[in-house]
Amino acid sequence: MYFKKEVIFGNPMVSTSYLPLLVLFLAALGFGLAPLGLAWLWAHLVSPPKPNRIKNAIYECGLESRGDAWVQFRSAYYLYAIIFLIFDVEAIFLLPFAVAFTGLTAGACLSMLIFVLLLVEGLVWAWAKGVLTWS
């Protein structure tokens, strides 16, 4: 069966124009991998690992580490995030809303009110939780 050469392999002039890209890609790969390979070879040749208990211990400025590093932190920060969202981010949305208010359709106005109400709900929740009282 006879096929035109260009149909199968594409235009030979077009395909060779990608060859420099391939060469560059391989060069870039070699540029990254060669130092890593050399470092690995070097380390295995002249620096065999000799681990021990003290060497593998956690570095703590020469002191022995005490206790567990997996301590839990109280994540009370979300309250500040909510308050920030209500008072700061809402203002950013309210400004274009106020500017374009006269030209808005009823649907757009309603959806914006729902958005504001959602944020107000957050404020009510925070108020009820006593976040706003400074102790």
Check binding of 61 to other proteins (CB under 8 A).
Answer: yes
Closest CA to 95 of 112, 80, 117: 112
Task: Using the minimum distance from each CB to other proteins, give the nearer residue, 40 or 80.
Answer: 40
Q: How far is the CB of 46 from other proteins (least distance, A)?
A: 6
Q: Which stretch binds other proteins (CB under 8 A): 15-23, 25-33, 57-65, 99-107?
A: 57-65
Largest CA distance in the chain: 89
Q: Which stretch binds other proteins (CB under 8 A): 11-19, 58-66, 69-77, 81-89?
A: 58-66
Residue 116's contacts (CB-CB under 8 Å, 6 or more residues apart) are 90, 94
Interface residue with other proteins among 1, 46, 91, 99 (CB under 8 A) is 46
Residue 71 CB neighbour total at 10 angstroms: 6
